[in-house]
A and B are shown apart, each in its own frame.
Chain A
Amino acid sequence: MTDTTRAALVASPIGFLFRLSEPRVYMTLAALSLLLIVPGVIDSPFIIHIFVTICVFGALSTAWNIVGGYAGQLSLGHTMFYGLGGYTTALLIQHYGLTPWLGMWVGAAVSVVVAVGIGYPCFRLRGPFFSLATIAFLEVIRLLAIHFHGFTGGSAGLIVPLKIGWPWMIFQEKFNYLIIAFGLLVLALAVAYGIRHSRLGYYLTAVREREDAASAAGVSNSRVKLQAVMISAALTSLVGSFHAMYLTFLEPASMFSLSTAIEVAMFALIGGLGTVAGPLLGTILVVPLAELARGWLGASANGLHGFVYGSVLILITLTLPGGLVGTFGPWIARLVDRLPGTPKRAEREAPALRRISGTPGEPVLEARDLVMRFGGLVATDNVSITLKRGEILGIIGPNGAGKTTVFNQISGFLKPTSGRVSLRDRSGAMVELSGPDAFARIGGVGRTFQIVQPFGKLSVIENIMIGAFMHHHGVEDARASALRVADVVGLLPLKDVEARNLPIGDLKRLEVARTLATEPDILLLDEVMAGQSQADTRKMVEIIRAIRDTGVTVVAIEHNMQAIMSLSDRIVVIDSGKVIAEGDPKAVVADRKVIEAYLGEDFVDAQGH
């Protein structure tokens, strides 16, 4: 098999079959199968119960991790989906005799609807307030379940009709439960793995790290978070449906339990937030301890397992905030990689660059009479700028003149108080857009931030991939394309370094690289040379020229006069929110108003202009 056909097969849905010879793949599958083999061999009801519980909580925690870990939205109300699944399934059996195999999907659909209804307004909340809102929603649902007791059975609870056999998901042979629980766990893990290694997974991490930088790279923050919560809610709900069949008894206090919601989140933290294997590992570590304690000590130990859980949680936050996988993962991965088998695959070749079409010199962006007021302050006062395809436009002006505010308006981060911005879309029509991600995706505007905004916990190459995903949906394509950009800006030797460890010069280049990877028509550079060494500045000038030569239109805010004068085709000078001069670099530097703005009237008089 040649490398290319192999790569194509690996990327296909049955790809994992072709990767069985990789040590990481076969070791993972072997370890997972122990969850079935161990109880199969020991065959005691108590052991089977423990393993069912592990599979159920492992699956719940894995599903939670998609929202809580990948997207960084710490939901403490996730059991609402578990409960909704359980109740929907049980009520459908009771009233309509519908088999749980179908009922669980109805439950999942209900959960997805609720998740969207809750997620959409709540995702604008930050940190602890998001957690509090999810707790409040969980409480509301629990109280409603108690209140409408005619329908749900209320606090007295609901007993699942005991019809035994596969169609009813209720068994005398306990091992059958384990088979289903294991199936659900594998499903959750497969989905979590799939997301982690897809565009969605990278986007979620980007949004978690820095929302602004993510939208500049064309990511719609609310959309990716909603996708995450929908998937997570559906999985949680499916597990809840099964667990209700296993427990055969539902009551609001246990189906919509806050402490269970905390436990589920806790397992993920212990194992490693945002990792694929972490939640399951956390569950495997903690659940048997608690169950055994309960088994041995009985009622006299009421509260013991909760005390242990809480204490472990505090200890983990103090000692291993990365969790088991975050701390020991790389070390274990290195050990596994030493095992015999096919080594990891080679890098793929980069896909073709998107060609920039259109006539050089035609207007690509028109800003008309931009006025931006912040309270009483007028940050930009009737600024109009027309950008021509293929030029390098320099924007200069003293500190606080309003340059970055102009940038924010022509990249969609600020909506002007009055005035409008129109952009040429890819079909050639001038359009008006709203939202930074639309500016990036439809208008082809890429921007960097004056204060660098790296995704600190992602590696250099992953940072650039976030940009590359805009036009390359596949991970391999995005990676290849990102590697090419890294080469252009000279970051290739640093590609696997975490961004937070880079010095400022490299971070500035990373900003440019991530933006460049979106393959923009218009590149907005906000002081990319500030604080750079002479050598770095020269490098940057070369990079910008090379970018323009590929047909990209460049706008640069810069204080480094020498660099910007040699680079720009045209200069716009802004002072106190107004455009005070515009034109050829040589003419602009001689302009009296410009010298005044920078050096003051006295200086101009002394010069005898």
Chain B
Amino acid sequence: MDVPVQLILNGIMLGSMYAIIAVGLTLIFGIVRVVNFAHGEFLMLGMYAVYLLSRYAGLHPYVSAVPVVILLFCVGALVQRFIIQKLLGADEHIQIFATVGLSTALVNLALLVFGADLYSVQAPAVRQSLPIGSFTVLVGHLVILGAAIALVAGLHVFMHTTPLGRAIRATAQNRTAALLMGVPVERIYVISFGLGAACVGLASALIMPLYPVTPTIGSYFVLTAFVVVVLGGMRSMYGAFFGAMIIGIVDSLSGYYIAPDLKEVVYFAIFILILIFKPTGLFGFGRGTE
């Protein structure tokens, strides 16, 4: 009995990591309607930034979350302003190529600057095990779970109570109508892309104490985040949150019961099945075939 419970607990911890990344991806897709293939590379950038801040300024990774979130917001906003914005009217495949190109360029830029070595930061307190009854979790993982819940709750409040949040929701629902109502749609897009990227900024600060960074770390997390987003119905951050938990648990269980090197096969299989048979996602929050 103990093993499955511990595995599910591990899965939730893993899931909350995916949740933060997937919420960012969902924001960008739900509002700007662009699938950001470079999302993982934003994470990678954030992690290197956290590493540099820790190494040269001695900042604790959690403290560096503040500057890194701001940095990533700017990166996202700039990408939207100078690349995506110009391609909004273009064919869909051109948009895909643009973000795929960005992803390729960023991975290789990191390879060029940092090489293929692993870099990690020292934060022993974060890696401490915390007993919960007969089970254990890492302090760092618990912080991530808390942050994921806070992020979704915070975004919910922001989207539903502030004028900017309302403008963002209006833009997501109907771009043309929002434009006619005087919503500055292009600026909303810049902000939304920035917010989506800022989410991975937060994720990178929380993940850095637990995982070393390499140029290809992004694709490791983000392919999973794509699975999560599709599972959650593409447009809904609540869907993304619960989708992330499911994938985390699937990851943890299949790694134990099937084979560690086949767990990705399991959730990619889920991904493909969902895309094909239930493109609105598990919870019916959105539509993948639109």
Contacts and interface: CB of A to CB of B under 8 A. Distances in A.
Interface of A: 68, 72, 74, 76, 121-122, 124-129, 131-133, 135-137, 139-140, 143-144, 146-147, 258-259, 262, 265-266, 269, 273, 301-307, 309-314, 316-318, 321
A129 B101 contact: no
B103 A74 contact: no
Contacts of B289: 124-126, 129
Given A302-B115, A307-B104, 17 more contacts: A125-B289, A126-B289, A127-B92, A132-B230, A137-B268, A139-B268, A143-B264, A307-B105, A307-B111, A309-B101, A312-B101, A313-B105, A314-B102, A314-B105, A317-B90, A318-B87, A318-B98
Nearest to A317: B98
A313 B101 contact: yes
Contacts of B97: 265-266, 269, 313, 316-317
Interface string B37-48: 100000000000
A122 B101 contact: no
B279 A125 contact: yes
B87 A317 contact: yes
A306 B268 CA distance: 26
A59 B95 CA distance: 25
A132 B275 CA distance: 10
A240 B289 CA distance: 32
Contact of B223 (A129, A139, A266): A139
Contacts of A269: 97
Give 7 closest A-B pairs by Cβ, nearest first. A310-B105, A313-B101, A303-B111, A306-B108, A310-B104, A128-B35, A307-B108
19 contacts: A125-B279, A129-B230, A129-B279, A133-B272, A136-B227, A136-B271, A140-B268, A143-B265, A146-B261, A262-B100, A266-B100, A273-B93, A303-B108, A304-B112, A306-B111, A309-B108, A312-B101, A314-B105, A318-B98
Q: Which of A131, A132, A310, A317 has the most CB of B within 10 A?
A: A317
Contacts of A68: 93
Interface in B32-63: 35, 37
B103 A310 contact: yes
- What's the dominant secondary structure at chain B's contact region? helix
Given A133-B275, A310-B108, A321 B94 contact: yes
B65 interface: no
A137 B91 CA distance: 24
A125 B35 CA distance: 14
B106 interface: yes
B143 interface: no
Interface string B265-290: 10011011001100100000000111
Given A140-B268, A310-B103, A321-B90, A131 B96 contact: yes
- What's the dominant secondary structure at chain A's contact region? helix
Contacts of B150: none
Nearest to B41: A310
Interface string B60-73: 00000000000000
Contact of B100 (A127, A144, A313): A313
Given A302-B115, A303-B110, A125 B98 contact: no
B149 interface: no
Contacts of A124: 276, 289
Contacts of B105: 306-307, 309-311, 313-314
A139 to B, nearest CB: 6
Contacts of B112: 301-304, 307
Contacts of B100: 76, 262, 265-266, 313
Given A136-B268, A317-B87, A122 B104 contact: no
Contacts of A313: 97-98, 100-101, 104-105
Q: Which of B92, B93, B98, B265 has the most CB of A within 10 A?
A: B93
Nearest to B93: A74
Contacts of A303: 107-112, 215
Nearest to B216: A259
